[in-house]
Structure 1
Amino acid sequence: MSQPTAAPNSASPPPQPPAPPAPPAPLEGGRLVLATFAVALATFMNVLDTSIANVAIPTISGNLGVSVDEGTWVITVFAAANAVAIPLTGWLTQRIGQVKLFVGAILSFTLASWLCGIAPTLPILLLARVFQGAVAGPLIPLSQAILLGSYPKEKSSTALALWAMTATVGPIAGPLLGGWITDSYSWSWIFYINIPVGLFAASVTWMIYRTRESPTRRPPIDVVGLGLLITWVASLQIMLDKGKDLDWFSSPVISILGLVALISFAFFLVWELTEEHPIVDLRLFGQRNFLGGTIAISIAYGVFFGNLVLLPQWMQEYLNYRSVDAGLVTAPLGVFAIILAPVLGRVLPRSDARVISTVAFVGFAIVFYMRSKYVIEIDTWHLVLPTLLQGIPMALFFVPLTAIILAGQPQHRIPAAAGLSNFVRVFCGAVGTSIAGTAWNNRTILHHARITEQASVDNPLFTQQIDTTQSLLRLNTQSAHALFDFTVNTQAAMMGLNDIFFVSAIIFVLIIPLIWITRPGKGGGGSDAAGAH
């Protein structure tokens, strides 16, 4: 007689999935110093390229035989491609691993820099810049994740401060270095300098981190989500860049681009929120800290970067500054940023990150208000002073908001969270550049029209001005009118730029409430959670 089968023990616990492997122990001593330097150098190289071409645009445009407006695509296509690639970091990290992806991105960025340098025409240069922006996508979020994993949890604020120092100094050093290289050598060398830096950073990073690779798995590819992401970002960026040239929505091209961007973005939101394995994890926006911190840092960066592009362009076009001189005027931005960043790393754990971020935004508002008072006859010191003071809010800008955004994220989600927040920030930088350029152009046209309303032979004040100019400078009537038109153009551009600065100050004040919808971290700092493992 067969024995009855034993009944399963209903009280036994169900099998548990294997626990994720423990993260590697923090680095120590010289290895930590060298690793931090290498990772920071890769970050610096990437961030530097977001602004190093700013002051070189007139030179690049002239050498390649295109207009300055066309030349600005060198900046915007890099930012747009970078914005598309950044949110893929979390997905790529799962398939490749943090270390392999980071080192591969550095080497690819180095190759792309060489291709930019040898580009003989603008279309080839733009293709190389698209490639460069795309492969640079993982560098920023992975540099944050790798540094946080290299330091003890209680030192996470120090890691973020060191990262922020490179992230803030890069856009500052870019115009200075780009101007000096362009004037002294050739614009190609603003890209060639990345080659030795990239090779060194990749070699040292691989040497130290190759045994600290993150676990990998093979999640399915969200092809639809990726296609929708590329479609709406590319459509929106082209629409913003070409809008002013094609008279905006009076052009069928701009109307179609706007419609494509709107529809593809709507489908992108619906798809990513319902897809089991989304290419971009939009559910992160359900966290209060991630939502408020990401929107605040992105709008602020868009306003900051848009102005950072306009300032040297105005100095070169209307004040006759050389590229290197325009770079020197913007360089003092880094003085306080470098001095205060490490101090902030020690202060932040004992402070409320929201208070520090608020102080930074108020500082930005004050600086832009000071710039809104610029006049044509401005001297170099009054150009430098607001730039020097802006280094203070710059130092208080990235670290607290990054700590707020990453607060409470487990180690394995930091690449995805950092990637998505950096995507929004970088994309807003590209959009901010386009909007700032368009707004400046429109305000300049408006002020030019208002001034020239009085330029009529029936206006005795106008005719008296022309007669005085002719007599003092011994000019004929045609030359006197040409000089008047030049003066009007210069004044209108100055007034238009002042409008941009004033609105920028208002925006920084208006986005302060976004900071206060977030929760403070443990101990009121908000940063200790940023490095949670």
Structure 2
Amino acid sequence: MSTASPFALPDAHAAREISGARLALLTFALSLATFIEVLDSTVTNVAVPAISGSLGVANSQGTWVISSYSVAAAIAVPLTGWLARRLGETRLFVGAVLLFTLTSLMCALAADLHVLVACRALQGLCSGPMVPLSQTILLRTFPPAKRTLALALWGMTVLLAPIFGPVVGGYLIDTLSWEWIFLINLPIGLFSFVVCATMLRQDARRGEHVPVDLIGIALLVVGVGALQAMLDLGHDAGWFDSTLIVTLAIVAALALVSLLLWEAGEAQPVLDLSLFRDRTFSFCVLIISLGMASFSVVGVVFPLWLQAVMGYDAFHAGLATAPLGILALVFSILVGLYAYRFDARVLATFGFLVFASVLWWDTHFTLTMTFTQIVTPGLIQGIGLPCFFIPLTAATLSRVPDHQLAAASSLSNFLRTLAAAFGTAMSVTLWDHRATFHYATLAQSVTRESSGTQHVVATLHAAGVSGAREAGALQQITMQQAYMMATSDMFFMACVTCVVLAALMWLTRPRRGAAMTLGH
């Protein structure tokens, strides 16, 4: 039985009655909600020094502002499908948007680090349902013939927010204060809440009263929380040289294995593992997760290289990354309008190969490159991002029944986000390890007999550098070159991964015009 509720999801017939300007307004509101959630997961990355200085704590403590949010969000995302069945998709979504907005205000008003970390954890819990449910509601609201466009609009916000996050964060901190990276959410979040709550209320139905899988929820919270904490803290703690990281790894492994075993036999599981019986869903989730892990290499190592090696500040490093979003924006719209004419595998393969080609180009970067030479490959890379992300997202859900759509969206988004977290954590560690390796190799060739060393020493002498300063300068130059080579290594590994993913795409069997058949 179902009864009317003001904040539940309209049925399919009512959803299709939203059209024209009202549909455009609803789409804009849903996209804004997605944008601020994804933006908030990255905008604080450049704010840690400002927050730490303002609250009188060390930078290492300030990073808990990031970690608390990511751990809480990682727990909440996979719970979305189960919560949506109990509360109703739209009621859960508009409630999450409102609470996310209120916790943003609480973060801005926090007077000490402990309060801020607690508020960020609450904000992360509220953010969990926003991205997967915005995707689900968009797909249900758009008529079948326009669902590829709906996915493109959703994908555009997911892709562009992390690109512009560091730029927006840097600008707000430099011109105003760190509190504004949270205050900016207030008008956007309230607008999205009012529009969605008003337009998605007619002909509604309640969620199902499914049993509470307490053991599954407990295992999920412990396992995912420990795993995300391990990823966030691993690099700074020295990974498995740290007792804390080893403990977190053991707890995560035991809890997650137990979760899989428990959910396999549970009648009403919190995670619907039956989705993985479909080969297309399984392979597409794997491919898009690995693809976003590769994308995280660009998102993490590239700005690190610009700041640590090339001497850029955080704001200009963000500006160097931002051009990636220009053609990504244009091609997101084009893919949305015309993707239904193509096999999703063709578009995704094209996108991965564009990404691979640009990453190969990036392996030839040098220490003497100008700003224009650095940003040009990123501009072209924007073509490939929506070409693999949007068709893959459509293909992932193309064979999912209507009643499992929210669960499939939350599960695929969770695994994609977790893979990106893995990619981020591993990228920084591997980048440092490769730089150490190259430094040891290069240092062996820095001898007085080496013609290259003689040339550098002559240049230093001409600049008035000699004695102890000469040795320090040689060491710095060698380290810069080592990190440049390590950066090329990371780009090469990401390039090879994209080629492999382009081939794996052909093991899937998405429906033609995949997004048009969603919710069959």
- What's the offset of the Cα at 1:86? 1.0
Find the counterpart in structure 2 of residue 206 from structure 1. Answer: 197
- Report the counterpart of residue 363 of structure 2 in structure 1: 372
Instruction: Tell me how far apart the structure 2 counterparts of residues 254 and 474 of structure 1 sit (CA, whole Å).
Output: 47
| TM-score computed with the length of structure 2 as normaliser | 0.91
Q: How much does 1:100 deviate?
A: 1.6
2:25 to 34, 56, 66: 34
Cα distance in 2 for partners of 1:392, 1:362 equals 11
For residues 285-338 of structure 1, the C-alpha deviation after alignment (integer angstroms, 9 at most, x for no partner) is: 111121011111111112212431232232223322233222221111121122
Is structure 2 residue 474 aligned with structure 1 residue 484? yes
- Pairwise CA distance, 1:345: 2.1
Q: Is the 8 A contact 1:73 1:126 kept in 2?
A: yes
**Cα distance in 2, alignment partners of residues 340 and 470 from structure 1:** 48
Structure-2 change in CA distance of 1:235 and 1:66 (3 Å)? same
TM-score by length of 1: 0.89
C-alpha separation between the residues in 2 aligned to 1:120 and 1:486? Answer: 40
Tell me what 1:23 maps to: 12
Equivalent residue for 2:303, pick from 303, 312, 315: 312
Q: 1:69 to 1:311 in 2, by over 3 A?
A: farther
- 1:493 corresponds in structure 2 to 483
- Assess, with a 3 A threshold, how the Cα gap between structure 1 residues 382 and 61 changes in structure 2: closer, same or farther: farther
Q: Which residue of 2 aligns with 1:519?
A: 509
Of 274, 277, 289, which aligns to 2:268?
Answer: 277
CA distance 1:212–1:294, shift in 2 (3 Å): farther
Do the aligned partners of residues 180 and 484 (structure 1) sit closer, same or farther apart at CA in structure 2, a change above 3 Å counting? same
Q: Which amino acid aligns with 1:484?
A: L
The residue number in structure 2 matching 1:502 is 492
Structure 1 runs not aligned, ≥5 long: 1-16
Seen in structure 2, the aligned counterparts of structure 1 residues 189 and 229 have a Cα distance that, compared at 3 Å, is same
Change (3 A) 1:349 1:147: same
Equivalent residue runs for 1:246-257 within 5 Å: 246-257=237-248
- Report the Cα distance in structure 2 between the residues aligned to 1:397 and 1:323, rounded to whole angstroms: 29
Q: Give me the whole-angstrom Cα distance separating, in 1, the residues matched to 2:470 and 2:54.
A: 32
Query: What does residue 461 of structure 2 align with?
Result: 471
Distance in 2 (CA, whole Å) between partners of 1:467 and 1:309 is: 34
> Which of the pair has more CA radius of gyration?
1
Letter paired with 2:389: F
Normalized per residue, which structure has more helix? Answer: 2
Gaps of 5+ in 2: 3-8
Task: Find the aligned partners of 1:309 and 1:65 in 2 and give their Cα distance.
Answer: 27
- After superposition, the C-alpha distances for 1:195-244 in whole angstroms (9 at most, x for unaligned) are 11101111111111122534312212212112212222222233334334
Corresponding pairs, count:
513
Following the alignment from structure 1 to structure 2, what is the Cα–Cα distance between the partners of residues 461 and 118? 60
The 1-side partners of 2:362 and 2:65 are apart by: 27
- Residue 280 (structure 2) pairs with residue 289 (structure 1): yes
CA contact (8 A) 2:297 2:494 kept: no
Structure 2 counterpart of 1:4: none
Change (3 A) 1:387 1:54: farther
| 1:450-492 CA distance string (max 9 Å, x none) | 2223456x76769856853663232352222222222222222
Which of 131, 135, 150 matches 1:140?
131
Quick check: 1:328 aligned with 2:316?
no
Pairwise CA RMSD of aligned residues? 2.7
Shift of 1:435: 0.8
Q: Is contact 2:297-2:490 (8 Å) kept?
A: no
Q: Which residue of 2 aligns with 1:162?
A: 153
How many Å separate the matches in 2 of 1:452 and 1:39? 54
More moved, 158-167 vs 446-455: 446-455
Mark the CA change 1:465 to 1:106 in structure 2 (over 3 Å): closer, same or farther. Answer: same
- Distance in 1 between residues matched to 2:240 and 2:311, nearest whole Å: 34
Q: Distance in 2 between matches of 1:361 and 1:117?
A: 40
The answer to whether the 8 A contact 1:55-1:312 is kept is: no
Q: 1:121 offset after TM fit, Å?
A: 5.2
Could you tell me whether the CA contact under 8 Å between 1:466 and 1:477 is conserved in 2?
A: no
Structure 1 pair 293/460, CA: closer, same or farther in 2 (3 Å)? Answer: closer
> Percent same amino acid at aligned positions?
40
